[in-house]
Every structure is written in structure tokens, then in C-alpha cells.
Chain A
């Protein structure tokens, strides 16, 4: 009885499960980016140099994102039902590690930023990339990129901040 109720809430087949995990991962990344903004803002005491720029910062990346999303078809076929081969697993773990290292560096660059409006614009640009991956690259590649972004931010916060 409880099982039947449960299966209505939770996805049942593997590709749906993967999609569900992918969504959760992207929510985590969005949370981490918000966390990064707050951390840098409060800890570095960022000033607002030009208020008008704060208002327009999101448009820089959101407008191109919406345009691209509206004209582009899906780049990947979606989540597969079966298992991944050992070679694929190793390959995508490598990609994840590479992106983790890259994003540790990028977060380091974000920490150098001295004004709130520039930080906001940068974070919005990264957020747009995440949303692009979330909606168009629904695949293990998208999952490894998003995982790499999340881990990169966390590694920076733990060891370099």
C-alpha cells in the first residue's frame, strides 16, 4: 500500500531517476552560487559603486540565455536507461575532476572582484550556464559539468578562502 503511494511520488524507471538526480544537483549548484555571493559580499564588505549597474547586471547574461534557449534544439538525447560502461565512467570522472580544478580557479577569480555589481554579473553568467546545461545538455556530460562546478566552489571555500 505504502509502496504504491511512494511510486507515484518518486520516479520509477532509471532515466527518470537520473533526471531527478540531475535536477537536485542543479538545485544544489544554484544554492552554492547564492552561498558564494553572500559569503563574498559579507566577508569582503563589497561596496556598490554604481547602483544602476546592479539593476542591469542580470540582463547581461539572462537575455542571451533566453534567446539561445528559444532557438536551440536539445543537444543531447537525454538520460539512458541502462548502465554506463567502465570506459565512460572513467572518462566522465576525469571531466568532473578537470572542471572541479577549473572552477576552483574561477571562484578564486570571483574572490578578487571588488564591487558588488561585477560579482552579481559574474554569478548571473555562471547561473545562466547552469540553466543552459540543465535544459539543453540533459546527459551524463551535463551531470559531470554541474558536479564539477559544485565541487570546485566547495573546494575553494574549504581550502583557499
Chain B
């Protein structure tokens, strides 16, 4: 059962990354002009993979807490709180950095990809090894704020 779920998570994550990648590279932005940009984006998407394998190599044992109703109930509130807090903090940070440096995130897509792929990978790692609901809240907050920032707040 557990292994099946892990497989599903891997497939879903890879699917999301591929869809995002295709969208951003071929549809979303017309700043990508040279082969160099594509190489950089591929590199930033690959960035977390070796680290993920290295971390998995060291932390070989499963520390899965039983995903019981009690565990969920106990962590619901702090996880949700962390989600909201992380989202607001990350949004404010991104806006602040953009305002301070007068540089748009869209002009530096590499960083968006870097944050995105690293977060998604830690998401999968967390799902496989720790199943820590609070950490899940933080990672979801970062991903959500990145999505909100790109889709709504930058024109």
C-alpha cells in the first residue's frame, strides 16, 4: 500500500513538472529566445534531483509516522496556520525584493524554476520519508505563493 502511494506521488510530481515546464517554455513567455535560456531552464529543473537521491541515500530508513486520523487531527491546525503564514511571508518577500531591486521575477525565470522544482522535490521527499504534515504546510505555502505571484500579481 505504502509503496503504491509513493509511486503515485512520483508520477504525479513528474507530471506536474513536465506540464509546468512545457507551459512556461513554449507557451507562457516569449523572453526565451536562445538555446542558452532553454539550457539554463533544463538545468534549474534538474537541480534538485541529485540532491534528492543523495538525501534518500543517507536517510534510507522509513520514518513514516502512521497516517492515522488522530495524527491528522492533531496536526491540522498548526499545518494550516503554517500554510497561511508561509504564503503571506513568501508573497511579501517576493513583492519586497521586486520593489527593492526593480527587477521582475519574469525576467529571471531561472529563479522561479529553481524555487519551483526544489520545492516540488522536497514535497515528494517529505511525502516519502517523513510524512510531516507541518512541513507539508510550509512547502504548500511556498508553491502557492509562487503560483499566485506569477499568475495574479505580475502584469
Contact = CB atoms under 8 A, between A and B. Distances in A.
Please determine whether chains A and B interact with each other in the same assembly. Answer: yes
Contacts of B3: 3, 6, 10
B60 A14 contact: yes
A89 to B, nearest CB: 6
A74 B155 CA distance: 59
A89 B110 CA distance: 30
Contacts of A39: 35, 39
A10 B43 CA distance: 29
Interface string B46-63: 110111011011101100
Contacts of A157: 39-40, 42-43
Q: How would you classify the secondary structure of chain A's contact residues: helix, strand, loop or mixed?
A: helix
Interface string A123-161: 000000000000000001001101100110111011001
Contacts of A35: 42
Interface string B83-102: 00000000000000000000
B53 A21 contact: yes
Q: Interface size for chain A: under 10, 10 to 19, 20 to 34, or 35 or more residues? A: 35 or more
A43 interface: yes
A12 to B, nearest CB: 11
Interface of A: 2-3, 6, 10, 14, 17-18, 21-22, 24-25, 28-29, 32, 35, 39, 42-43, 83-84, 89, 92, 96, 140, 143-144, 146-147, 150-151, 153-155, 157-158, 161
